[in-house]
Amino acid sequence: MIGWRPALERSVVLRHDRVRRTDLLVLPERVVVLEGRAADVLRLCDGHRPVEEIVDVLAARFPGAPVTVEVPRFLHRVRQEGWLR
């Protein structure tokens, strides 16, 4: 994961759903309802920030949250789904 600057795959759209008051990942033929802070993490995946910087930003925003371990693990999982590159 060293040097990885995550970005959403081109076919994946991260958006807020104002009707259902939730955040979504929208893909062809599929919608993923994002829970908890997933959208906060994915919004930082702009292809410029490396993972370490994403972790730093979230650590500052959510003091005390276990971001150092959980955020890289979450990003890895989302990449395995094929939604991040």
- List contacts with other proteins (CB under 8 A): 10-11, 13, 15, 17, 19-20, 24, 26-29, 31
DSSP-assigned letters across all residues of 17-83:
ETTTTEEEEEETTEEEEE-TTHHHHHTT-BSSS-HHHHHHHHHHHSTTS-HHHHHHHHHHHHHHHTS
Of 14 and 59, the one with the shorter C-beta distance to other proteins is 14
We find the least distance from the C-beta atom of residue 46 to other proteins, in angstroms, to be 18
Nearer to other proteins, 1 or 26 (CB): 26
Taking the complex as a whole, the smallest distance from the CB of residue 23 to other proteins amounts, in Å, to: 12
Measured CA to CA, the distance from residue 6 to residue 71 in angstroms comes to 12
The least CB distance from residue 76 to other proteins, in Å, is: 15
